């Protein structure tokens, strides 16, 4: 079964520190991978999307990497802020026109002052 | 600006009641989805629709039905609510077609409690 596994399940860091979230997937054939940020009580919002040919993509203080050979992605957050406290969800889509992406269970990040 | 609107943010219902959750999108998207989200389990797909009057079961359709009479509106129906359907319900929509992305836009969610 196609799966998306995220680690760690939860993470607590101090404001200003960096952190890295991991996503491993077995979804095949691979089309693209997207990271979503979900604030408490809100719906997920897309942060970045990466296709097979892309290794790194940045969105402000968020940098996503993709290694399609090892089927791993990471989301690096630089100089964390209190507003980064949220759940981060990795989502992988297959090729072939499938409407249905596969969701990871998310990493819950708490940034303390 | 992209918008997916869910009719209620919070809902409290009694066991056995029929419950309607409404979702409206203003982006002319073909695809619409209903998910439930529970702690530790992530988002699980209940039903999706790729066109008006078309629907497909997701991973956990039992106890739910859906209706899509108009392109912009996708309704989730709990025929007889049970306590194990207490959850956060998220609606999403996306375009169809080639190219990467087909980004899903999510509503703010409806937190349903069944007592």
A31-67 exposure pattern, b = at least 16 Cβ within 10 A, e = fewer: bbbbbbbbeeeebbebbbbbbeebeebeeeebbbbbe
User: What are the C-alpha distances in Å from B58 to residues A106, A111, B36, B39, B76?
Assistant: 20, 34, 11, 19, 13
Residues in chain B: 115
How confident is the prediction for chain A on average, in pLDDT?
Answer: 91
Choose the closest CB to B48 out of A31, A49, A100: A100
The two tokens of residue B72 are 């912009």
Evaluated on CA atoms A86, A104, B13, B66, the torsion sign reads positive
Please indicate whether, in this complex, the C-beta atoms of A99 and B100 are within 8 angstroms of each other.
no
Q: How do the pLDDT tens digits run along chain B, 115 residues long? A: 668 999 999 999 999 999 999 999 998 988 899 999 998 888 999 999 988 989 999 989 999 999 999 999 999 999 999 999 999 999 999 887 544 457 889 999 999 999 9
User: What are the C-alpha distances in Å from B62 to residues A43, B33, B47, B70, B75?
Assistant: 23, 15, 10, 24, 16
CA angle B20, B33, A42 (to 5 degrees): 80
For the ranges A40-44, A52-56, B36-40, B74-78, which has the lowest average pLDDT? Answer: A52-56
Q: What is the pLDDT of residues A84-102, one digit of tens each?
A: 999 999 999 887 656 678 8
Helices (H), chain A: none
Given this model, what pLDDT does residue B101 score?
53
The two tokens of residue A43 are 């719906």
On whether any CB of chain B is under 8 Å from the CB of A7, the answer is no
Given this model, what pLDDT does residue A99 score?
67
Q: What is the pLDDT of residues A62-75, one digit of tens each?
A: 999 999 999 999 99
Task: Yes or no: say if A85 and A63 are a contact pair by the CB < 8 Å rule.
Answer: no
Given this model, what pLDDT does residue A28 score?
84
* Closest-CA distance of chain A to residue B80, Å: 25
On whether any CB of chain A is under 8 Å from the CB of B90, the answer is yes
Chain A window 23-52: which residues touch B at a Cβ cutoff of 8 Å?
31-32, 34, 41-46, 49, 51
Given this model, what pLDDT does residue B26 score?
94
Task: Please report which confidence band the pLDDT of residue A30 belongs to, taking 50, 70 and 90 as the band edges.
Answer: confident
């Amino acid at each position: 079964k196609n799966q998306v596994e995220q680690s760690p399940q939860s993470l607590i860091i101090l404001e200003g520190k960096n952190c890295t979230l991991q996503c491993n997937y077995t979804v095949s054939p691979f089309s693209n991978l997207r990271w979503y940020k979900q604030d408490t009580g809100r719906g997920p919002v897309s942060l970045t999307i990466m296709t097979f040919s892309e290794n790194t993509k940045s969105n402000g203080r968020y940098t996503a990497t993709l290694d399609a050979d090892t089927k791993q992605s990471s989301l690096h957050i630089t100089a964390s802020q209190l507003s980064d406290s949220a759940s981060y969800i990795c989502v992988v889509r297959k090729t072939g026109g499938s409407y249905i992406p596969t969701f990871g269970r998310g990493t819950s990040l708490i940034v303390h002052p | 600006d992209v918008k997916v609107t869910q009719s209620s943010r919070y809902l409290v219902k009694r066991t056995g009641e029929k419950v309607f959750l409404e979702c409206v999108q203003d982006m002319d998207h073909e695809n619409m989805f209903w998910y439930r989200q529970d702690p530790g389990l992530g988002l699980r797909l209940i039903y999706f629709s790729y066109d008006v009057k078309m629907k497909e079961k997701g991973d956990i359709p039992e106890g739910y039905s859906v209706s899509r009479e108009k392109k912009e509106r996708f309704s989730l129906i709990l025929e007889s609510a049970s306590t194990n359907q207490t959850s956060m319900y998220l609606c999403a929509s996306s375009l169809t077609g080639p190219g990467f992305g087909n980004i899903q836009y999510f509503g703010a969610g409806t937190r349903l409690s069944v007592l």
